[in-house]
Amino acid sequence: MSVTAAVGFRAAGATAGLKASGSPDVALVVNDGPEHAVAAVFTTNRVEAAPVTWSRQVVADGRADAVFLNSGGANACTGPRGFGDTHRTAEVVADTLGVSATDVVVCSTGLIGEYLPMDRIEAGIALTAADLGLEGGADAARAIMTTDTVPKEAVATGDGWTVGGMAKGAGMLAPGLATMLCVITTDAVASPDVLAEALRSATSRTFDRVDSDGCMSTNDTVVLMSSGASGVSVDVGALTDAVTEVCASLARQLVADAEGASHDIAVEVRSAATESEAVEVARAVTRSNLFKAAIFGRDPNWGRVLSAVGTTSAQFDASRLDVAINGIEVCRAATIGDDRDLVDLSGREVRVVVDLHAGDATATVWTNDLTHDYVHENSAYST
């Protein structure tokens, strides 16, 4: 259901011929109202794609009527011509739907540094617009996949209202914003300001804490739209909880389907002085190629955890650090703890707990292992 779970939204996915594989590659999500509030967060990468530049302007006034998305091409590093192509995309969508181009968000994903085939994009707009439906969420979620192997959808419900979302992203997942593209819809009545506050809060503790490969995309976009069609007004706390639930589910689905991964790794840092220091330490561990390769090899190599922790500026006494891997405290007080042979890494889920003994704050960052398949997927094809 994803983006069509909430009342007031229609969606569609179609095949425009952007992908050599012939898989679906364009999606359209339309907000039928009565309200058309929007908020969005974008990549913090200073090299941003044309659709990001465009969509920042679209959402600035808090109103959007539709989101058009394409896989098969990022339209990043394409200069003025690329920006013109995004503008043209919005114009054609607007003409087709009878709305203003400045209320059409555009998202693209795929290879950087190539122009989009605009004839196919325009054909894709016509196809999706003709196929818009109240059950179209699943088709839309499938059409935005690139190296994803499964679509990502999530739904959360409030008292008389609903939040639903879809996301794609299988590589270039890193902080600042960890997914490439995500569209979330709700039929709750909420102003753009409330949407923005809920979205910032939700993404900061979900997508921002996924770090598959340390590489930040030029195209990351998360859009939240409300139709108000439920007629139920929500307070920001309730909306934040529901949006966070959807984002958390989608973020976990991204990790579970990251390029070439064989393990999903949660790095939980406990007893940090502050939450931001907990995140800093967790992120240092999730960025260690040596640690990630060890997990791929089912090697509970806690020395690689400690050596990553030691590169941070977080408060801790280096002689008091504890590390547990899947429940076995292999490192106690920064030296040899329980028998590392007791650690079972045969399953996909791995939980690393680092205790800093420096305070009460905690945070978890998710990542994947570093595998042969990751290297293969990212060396054998230009993506």
What is the closest distance, in whole angstroms, from the C-beta atom of residue 303 to its own copies in the complex?
3
According to the binding rule CB under 8 A, does residue 203 interact with its own copies? no
The CB density around residue 47, as the number of other CB atoms within 10 Å, is 12
Determine, following the binding rule CB under 8 A, whether residue 293 of this chain makes contact with its own copies: yes
Q: Does 289 bind its own copies (CB under 8 A)?
A: yes
Any alpha helices (H) in 113-172, and if so which ranges?
118-131, 137-143
User: What is the footprint of its own copies within residues 66-85 (CB under 8 A)?
Assistant: 74, 76-79, 81-82
Among positions 2, 218, 226, 227, the unique one binding its own copies when judged by CB under 8 A:
218
> Residues 249, 204, 113, CA angle at the centre, nearest 5°?
85
Binding part of the chain for its own copies, among 12-20, 39-47, 64-72, 250-258 by CB under 8 A, reads: 39-47
Give which of 308, 293, 303, 356 is closest to 325, Cα–Cα.
303
The residues in 89-148 that bind its own copies, with binding defined as CB under 8 A, are 111-115
Asked if 106 contacts 68 with a C-beta cutoff of 8 angstroms, the reply is: yes
Size of the site for its own copies (CB under 8 A): 66
Phi, psi (degrees; rounded to nearest 5) at 34: -70, -20
Cross-strand partners of 70:
26, 108
Site for its own copies contains 18 (CB under 8 A): no
- Considering only residues 152 to 171 of the shown chain, the ones binding its own copies according to CB under 8 A are 171
Residue from 34, 133, 231, 297 touching its own copies (CB under 8 A): that is 297
* DSSP letter string, 43-84: ---SS--HHHHHHHHHHTTSB-SEEEEE-SB---S-HHHHHH
Say whether residue 379 binds its own copies (CB under 8 A): yes
- Binding residue for its own copies (CB under 8 A) from 100, 204, 233, 378? 378
Instruction: Compute CA distances 3 → 60, 140, 242, 257, whole Å.
Output: 22, 8, 14, 20
Tell whether residue 326 is a contact of its own copies (CB under 8 A).
Answer: no
What is the Cα–Cα distance from 286 to 267, expressed in whole angstroms?
Answer: 7
Structure tokens at 233: 């007004």
CA atoms within 13 A on the CB side of 60: 8
Member of 4, 70, 89, 217 binding its own copies (CB under 8 A): 217
176 binds its own copies (CB under 8 A): yes
Give the single-character DSSP code of 144: T
Active site residue 157: no
Q: Is 186 annotated as a binding residue?
A: no
Write down the catalytic residue from 179, 186, 364, 371: 179
Nearer to its own copies, 157 or 289 (CB): 289
What is the SS3 assignment for 187?
A: coil
- Cβ contacts of residue 63 below 8 Å, gap of 6+? 36, 37, 38, 103, 192
User: Is residue 301 involved in binding its own copies (CB under 8 A)?
Assistant: yes
- In angstroms, give the least distance from the CB of 138 to its own copies: 29
349-355 vs 335-336, strand pairing mode = unpaired
Instruction: Quote the tokens at residue 135.
Output: 């059950």
How many other CB atoms are there within 10 angstroms of residue 353's CB atom?
Answer: 19
Ligand-binding site membership of 89 (annotated): no
Which of 25, 48, 187, 245 forms a contact with its own copies (CB under 8 A)? 48
**Does residue 348 belong to the site contacting its own copies (CB under 8 A)?**
no
Indicate which single residue of 46, 98, 149, 346 sits in contact with its own copies (rule: CB under 8 A): 46
CB-nearer residue toward its own copies: 60 or 336: 336
Going from the C-alpha of 271 to that of each of 168, 275, 281, 358, 360, the distances in angstroms are: 33, 9, 11, 5, 5
Candidate segments 120-128, 140-148, 329-337, 349-357, binder of its own copies by CB under 8 A: 329-337
Spatial separation of the C-alpha atoms in residues 89 and 75, rounded to whole Å: 12
- Identified binder of its own copies from the candidate list 130, 134, 333, 342, rule CB under 8 A: 333
Q: Which is nearer to its own copies, 111 or 123 (CB)?
A: 111
**Which residues line the annotated binding site?**
146, 168, 179, 259, 378, 383
Please list the active-site residues.
179
Binding site for its own copies (CB under 8 A): 44-48, 74, 76-79, 81-82, 111-115, 171-172, 176, 213-218, 287-290, 293-294, 296-297, 299, 301-304, 306-312, 318-319, 321, 330-331, 333-336, 370-372, 374-376, 378-382
**Which residues line the annotated binding site for substrate?**
146, 168, 179, 259, 378, 383
